[in-house]
Amino acid sequence: MSSTERRPRGSVGREESPQAGAGAGSGTGSEGGAARETLEDYTLRFAPRSYRRWTPMVVATTALGGIAYLADFSIGAGIGLTHGTGNALAAILVAAVVIFVTGFPLAYYGARYNLDLDLITRGSGFGYYGSVLTSVIFASFTFIFFALEGSIMAQGLKLGLGLPLWLGYLVSTFMVIPLVVYGMKALSKLQVWTTPVWLLLMVGPLVYLVVTDPGTVDHWLSYAGTGGEGGVNTASVLLGSGVCLSLIAQIGEQIDYLRFMPPRTNGNRRAWWTAVVVAGPGWVVLGALKQAIGAFLAVYVIASVGPASAAEPIQQFKAAFDAMMPSWLVVPLAVVLVVISQIKINVTNAYSGSLAWTNSFTRLTGRYPGRMVFVLLNLAFALALMEADMFSFLNRVLGFYSNCAIAWVVTVATDIMVNKYVLKLSPHAPEFRRGMLYAVNPVGTVAFVAASGLSIAMYFHALGDTLQPYSPVAAALIAFVLTPLMAVLTKGRYYLRRTTDGIGEPLLDADGNPSATLYRCHVCRQEFERPDVAACRTHDAVVCSLCLSTDRVGDHVLPASVG
């Protein structure tokens, strides 16, 4: 095209206005709002090479900082106290294996092609509007776990400072707003600098207990649960793994960081792969360890605090600190650990949730109100759950939610692993731009709806009491089978609405990385890298992906065609 105004990468950067892109013009609903925005989050779009200047290890450290949450301790404690240690450990292991296997292809695609999980989902079986379903699922994940972490922090503030729970909920909610405003740069600094302190406070007391009182380990391993039956049985393992699998959507938050990975080259290949594996699916290794530790600490404190409080991390670590240090230092350190953990994860929950809500709203309405609107919306949902005392019925909430999360993640992972690489019915390179995708792709949409619907029915005993514990297994198996089956039945025809975007230059460079050539969007007058633009339907020019999303009349959207 003659007037795309492209230029080689290097002369112009995007640091000054990384959010620009949905400026005023015919058919756009944002009236320049996104073009004026300076927040560094790349909502709705590909993360350009000009912004991705961190090393693989810095990105990995930042991503792992986001899993410092204490919910794992509560989850592990709840499973262990209910079903016994043997069943709890088996459940944790089963869930960890499923999460690792399904998380690997998603993490790879996010890091390789610099897209968040919503953008990956669009081109991996759901379509441009079909993935709104999963965006809402992911947004729900973020405010559910924000509420859980906020509840844990409020418990700590009540113990340490005497704050009533309702006030602690407010404090834990509003304190993250200033930290989440500025996106990746601020979050990377926060996570890197707080991680050593968090690790020391978490690991130190556990090591001390095990070394000084080995009998605690024997007592924990022999704990039979509230039922008192002992032994390992399939129903208890599956019920426990269903609760653990509610965390399967955490890979979406890991990808919100991994999308800022630098290009993979021969020089950084080993570091690149290490970072992707460790900070992608590898998060579940630390998560599983925390769940096991939570079960251990719950058994350790149950005699002194009772079963109702044994699942509270603040009580667990208060007792652990009490065994190794002066009494005057116990509560302050326990509160510091809870506060640091809550901040580290809830800035990520608020950030990732705002991206998911913004993605959904902008696609459905053609308007881009700005990410901060949805930061506040996500926090409002979380605060409502906290005030409703979600912590008291934690396992029921997570057990129900896990069915939807499993169906989504397994569907997308199967599309990548099987439909793209084995059947070759799904396009190898991910596509997310409006006009290039069908509105709804039945492959992923049908698989997800069927898997989540049937597994939820099983969870609520609609198919009988015998099948109820198997709902998470059903969600995974149905999604895994239906995704390739639907691709075969539809012959893969509903993935791409077009096979070309009207620009001659390939999306990927010679090394297989997204091309860094800059093009100027004729709508918002901002420059974007090659994967983020397409030819305009009505002008001899290009238009960026966000301007396409906010084009309510379709003036710039390419028509459906082949070739």
pLDDT tens digits, 92-125: 999 999 999 999 999 999 999 999 898 999 999 9
- Nearest CA to 523 out of 503, 507, 539, 501 is that of 539
Check whether 395 has a pLDDT greater than 70.
Answer: no
Looking at the chain, the whole-number percentage of residues with pLDDT higher than 70 is 87
pLDDT of residue 482: 98
Report the alpha-carbon distance of residue 74 to residue 153 in Å, rounded: 12
Q: Give, as one character, the DSSP assignment of residue 124.
A: I
The pLDDT tens digits for 6-30 are 544 433 333 333 233 333 333 434 4
Q: In the beta sheet, which residues pair with residue 535? A: 542
pLDDT of residue 1: 41
Instruction: Return the higher-pLDDT residue of 461 and 39.
Output: 461
Check whether 264 has a pLDDT greater than 60.
Answer: yes
Q: What integer best gives the mean pLDDT of the chain?
A: 84
Check whether 246 has a pLDDT greater than 90.
Answer: no
56-430+442-490 maps to CATH 1.10.357.10: no
Helix (H) / strand (E) containing 390? none
- Nearest CA to 532 out of 119, 23, 135, 27 is that of 119
Report the alpha-carbon distance of residue 297 to residue 321 in Å, rounded: 11
pLDDT of residue 41: 56
Helix (H) / strand (E) containing 544? strand 542-544
Mean pLDDT of 406-421: 96
Confidence of residue 529 (pLDDT cuts 50, 70, 90): very high
pLDDT of residue 45: 78
pLDDT of residue 326: 85
pLDDT of residue 225: 83
pLDDT of residue 71: 81
The residue length of the chain stands at: 563
Quote the tokens at residue 152: 């844990």
Looking at the chain, the whole-number percentage of residues with pLDDT higher than 90 is 41
The pLDDT tens digits for 134-146 are 988 888 888 888 8
- Nearest CA to 529 out of 10, 25, 118, 91 is that of 10
> Do residues 396 and 144 lie in contact, with contact meaning Cβ atoms separated by under 8 Å?
no
Least confident span in 244-253, 387-396, 484-493: 387-396
Mean pLDDT of 203-219: 87
Q: In the beta sheet, which residues pair with residue 115? A: none
pLDDT of residue 230: 63
Mean pLDDT of 268-272: 94
Report the alpha-carbon distance of residue 405 to residue 483 in Å, rounded: 15
pLDDT of residue 14: 33
The pLDDT tens digits for 366-385 are 887 777 788 888 899 889 88
Q: Which of 209-218, 375-384, 411-420 has the highest mean pLDDT?
A: 411-420
pLDDT of residue 229: 61
Helix (H) / strand (E) containing 447? helix 442-459
Quote the tokens at residue 54: 């961190």
Report the alpha-carbon distance of residue 44 to residue 136 in Å, rounded: 14
466-476 b/e (C-beta count within 10 Å ≥ 16 → b): ebbbbbbbbbb
pLDDT of residue 484: 98
Q: What is the DSSP string of 463-509?
A: T-TTTGGGHHHHHHHHHHHHHHHHHHHHTTTTSBS-S--S-SS-SB-
249-279 b/e (C-beta count within 10 Å ≥ 16 → b): bbbbbbbbbbbbbbbbeeebeeebeebbbbb
Instruction: Return the higher-pLDDT residue of 304 and 498.
Output: 498
**Paired sense of beta strands 527-529 and 542-544, if any:** unpaired
Number of H-type helices and E-type strands within the chain: 22, 4
What is the chain's percent helix, strand, coil content, to nearest 5? 65, 5, 35
Provide the whole-model pTM.
0.83
- The domain segmentation of the chain, as residue ranges, is 56-430+442-490
Quote the tokens at residue 276: 């992707």
Report the alpha-carbon distance of residue 322 to residue 331 in Å, rounded: 8
Confidence of residue 4 (pLDDT cuts 50, 70, 90): very low
Report the alpha-carbon distance of residue 102 to residue 99 in Å, rounded: 5
Least confident span in 245-249, 276-280, 494-498: 245-249
CA atoms within 13 A on the CB side of 297: 34
Check whether 36 has a pLDDT greater than 50.
Answer: no
Q: What is the DSSP string of 501-530?
A: -S-SS-SB-TTSSBP--EEEBTTT--EEEG
pLDDT of residue 19: 31
The pLDDT tens digits for 137-190 are 888 888 888 888 888 888 888 888 889 999 999 998 888 877 666 555 555 666
